[in-house]
Amino acid sequence: MKSDQHVNDPLEEAKRFLMQVSPRPSMVAISGKGSWLTDHAGTAYLDFVQGRGTNALGHCAPELSRAVTMQASTMVNPGSHLYSDQGLQLAKVLAQTSGLDQVFFANSGTEANEAAIKLARKWGRLNGRENPEILVFHDAFHGRSMGSMSASVRPAWDRWFGPLAPGFRAVPFNDLAAVAQAFSPQVAAVLVEPVQGEAGVVLGTQYFLQGLRELCDRNGALLILDEVQTGIGRLGSLFAFQHYGVRPDIVTAGKGLGNGFPISAVLATEAVCVFEHGEHGGTFNGGPLACSVALATLATVDSKPFLNDVRTKGTQLGLRLHSLGEALRCGGAAGIGLMWRMELNQPIASAVVRYAMDGLRADPGWECRGLLLNAPRPNILRFLPALNVSTDEIDLMVDGLRRSIIRVREAGVA
Ligand SMILES: *Cc1c(COP(=O)(O)O)cnc(C)c1O
């Protein structure tokens, strides 16, 4: 499918009319189906980014398109001052499948974390902390609002956007001794990603996450898991905490929950649900359209056979990446479920991403198609395919990755 409005020079129009907040390639995405995305020139790309892991079931999954169409002609926005049928159903499903008690809906991962931070601060005040503090981790990513940005502690951010919100203290990830040392009577919560996604898929160890649970218990503090990226089946369990066997007090979910449609959620144990009327909310929160899409996503993802299949595919992806790393002597791979990283022993990850998108199509084996990959760090590639990606698509991706790494090395570009 071609779009005539954008054929001239999409890059020039983008530069003219859009604030430039991130580098984007000179293609315009037009349509998607499953693991494939098509651009304005009709080029198809095998998509192993999937909107940064938001399209849990790939582009335009039929069950989701149906849910959107049905709900869009039934009721879109009664307003968050009213209950909706879809919102009630989704809250019940999320509470039951997570084992937590109550749910708060929002529209993005950032907003879910913002709500979790507010909840933890209020809970802290109600439980003896005058200045509640939240322990966070080096290289963590929790969002870009004032609060979630302050929790993320990225070195460059405070230069332009400071002063950041106080009340966060950062300690090294996977370092239990450092956390133990950082605890004080003011610490109300520990906020952590079970697997740090934006940092380049850095896996929290079971020892670390279970240790955090114990430290929180010993100090009467809350354990908050940011599962915006790891939740909704990504690791082969509905939530990462089920994989790790660690029960959190608060969990945030987003990304995959709406399969590309904006919706996020905060789930918490009853003791922590301390908001009173007027203390938090949002105009679009828990809208029936978003909730019906999330219900359709969960109806597929939250099943044993589906999650088993995620683990099987994840093993396949991991094995292929490992052997590719060995064959090309370029470094290791690590991951859980369908969240993987591959390390390159040179800072060529961005060049590999560019070649996979633009150069690969000239390769006879690739029949004019491209491959979408993501480079969260100069030497790290991240893979977040659709959870229903096929074994053939995994093999094809690894073939494209192999060709891309070889060509980038040959060309000596970085
Ligand atoms: C993407 C992400 C966020 C931010 O979510 P948005 O929907 O972009 O606001 C927060 N935490 C983690 C772990 C993420 O991966």
Q: What is the DSSP string of 293-354?
A: HHHHHHHHHSSHHHHHHHHHHHHHHHHHHHHHHHHTT---EEEETTEEEEE-SSS-HHHHHH
Compute the average pLDDT of residues 204-226.
98
Q: Is the CB of 108 under 6 A from ligand 1?
A: yes
Compute the average pLDDT of residues 325-345.
96
pLDDT at 26: 80
Q: Whose CA is nearest to atom 8 of ligand 1?
A: 109
- For residue 190, report the phi and psi dihedrals to the nearest 5 degrees: -115, 130
Q: Is the CB of 254 under 6 A from ligand 1?
A: yes
pLDDT at 23: 82
Is residue 254 within 8 A of residue 266, CB to CB? The reply is no
Quick check: 378 pLDDT over 70?
A: yes
Best of 49, 52, 107, 141 to mutate for ligand 1, by most ligand atoms within 8 A of CB? 141
pLDDT at 157: 77
Quick check: 387 pLDDT over 90?
A: yes
pLDDT tens per residue across span 344-353: 999 999 999 9
pLDDT at 1: 44
Q: Is the CB of 231 under 6 A from ligand 1?
A: no
Could you tell me the distance, in angstroms and rounded to a whole number, from the CA of residue 34 to the centre of ligand 1? Answer: 22
As a whole number of Å, the end-to-end CA separation of the chain is 33
Q: What is the spatial distance between Cα 63 and Cα 75, in angstroms, rounded to a whole number?
A: 18
Is residue 113 within 8 A of residue 252, CB to CB? The reply is yes
Question: Of ligand 1's atoms, which has the minimum distance to the CA of residue 110?
Answer: 9
Compute the average pLDDT of residues 387-391.
98
Q: Is the CB of 142 under 6 A from ligand 1?
A: yes
Which is nearest to 153 in space by CA: 163, 167, 145, 141? Answer: 141
Enter the pTM of the model. Answer: 0.96
Q: What is the spatial distance between Cα 176 and Cα 235, in angstroms, rounded to a whole number?
A: 23
Compute the average pLDDT of residues 155-166.
84
pLDDT at 176: 98
**What percent of the chain clears pLDDT 70, i.e. is strictly above it?**
97
Worst-scoring range by mean pLDDT, 19-23, 124-128, 357-361?
19-23
Q: Is the CB of 197 under 6 A from ligand 1?
A: yes
Q: Is the CB of 193 under 6 A from ligand 1?
A: yes
Q: What is the spatial distance between Cα 414 and Cα 411, in angstroms, rounded to a whole number?
A: 9
Could you tell me the distance, in angstroms and rounded to a whole number, from the CA of residue 187 to the centre of ligand 1? Answer: 24
Asked whether the bond before 163 is cis by omega within 30 degrees of 0, the reply is: yes
Q: Is the CB of 374 under 6 A from ligand 1?
A: no
Which is nearest to 314 in space by CA: 342, 297, 339? Answer: 339
Is residue 182 within 8 A of residue 169, CB to CB? The reply is yes
pLDDT tens per residue across span 97-117: 999 999 999 999 999 999 999
Could you tell me the distance, in angstroms and rounded to a whole number, from the CA of residue 255 to the centre of ligand 1? Answer: 7
Could you tell me the distance, in angstroms and rounded to a whole number, from the CA of residue 113 to the centre of ligand 1? Answer: 8
Best of 198, 225, 232, 266 to mutate for ligand 1, by most ligand atoms within 8 A of CB? 198
DSSP annotation of 361 reads: G
Compute the average pLDDT of residues 78-92.
96
pLDDT at 2: 47
Confidence of residue 7 (pLDDT cuts 50, 70, 90): low
Compute the average pLDDT of residues 221-248.
98
Sign of the CA dihedral running 268, 270, 273, 277: positive
Q: What is the spatial distance between Cα 359 and Cα 375, in angstroms, rounded to a whole number?
A: 17
Residue 306: exposed, middle, or buried by beta-carbon count in 10 A (0-12, 13-18, 19+)? middle
Residue 308 has which token pair? 């088993």
Could you tell me the distance, in angstroms and rounded to a whole number, from the CA of residue 372 to the centre of ligand 1? Answer: 20
Q: Is the CB of 385 under 6 A from ligand 1?
A: no
Q: Is the CB of 167 under 6 A from ligand 1?
A: no
Compute the average pLDDT of residues 240-261.
98
Q: Is the CB of 382 under 6 A from ligand 1?
A: no
Compute the average pLDDT of residues 370-387.
97
pLDDT at 316: 98
Best of 152, 224, 228, 374 to mutate for ligand 1, by most ligand atoms within 8 A of CB? 228
Quick check: 366 pLDDT over 80?
A: yes
Q: Is the CB of 262 under 6 A from ligand 1?
A: no
Quick check: 278 pLDDT over 60?
A: yes
Quick check: 413 pLDDT over 80?
A: no
Compute the average pLDDT of residues 323-329.
96
- Compute the mean pLDDT over every residue in the chain, rounded to the nearest whole number: 95
Q: Is the CB of 204 under 6 A from ligand 1?
A: no
pLDDT at 331: 86
Sheet with 333-336, side-by-side order of all strands? 333-336, 339-343, 380-383, 374-377
Question: Of ligand 1's atoms, which has the minimum distance to the CA of residue 264?
Answer: 7
Question: For residue 163, how many other CB atoms are within 10 A of its CB?
Answer: 8
Q: Which residues of 188-210 are buried (b: 16+ CB within 10 A; e: fewer)?
A: bbbbbbbbbbbbbbbbbeeebbe
pLDDT at 22: 84
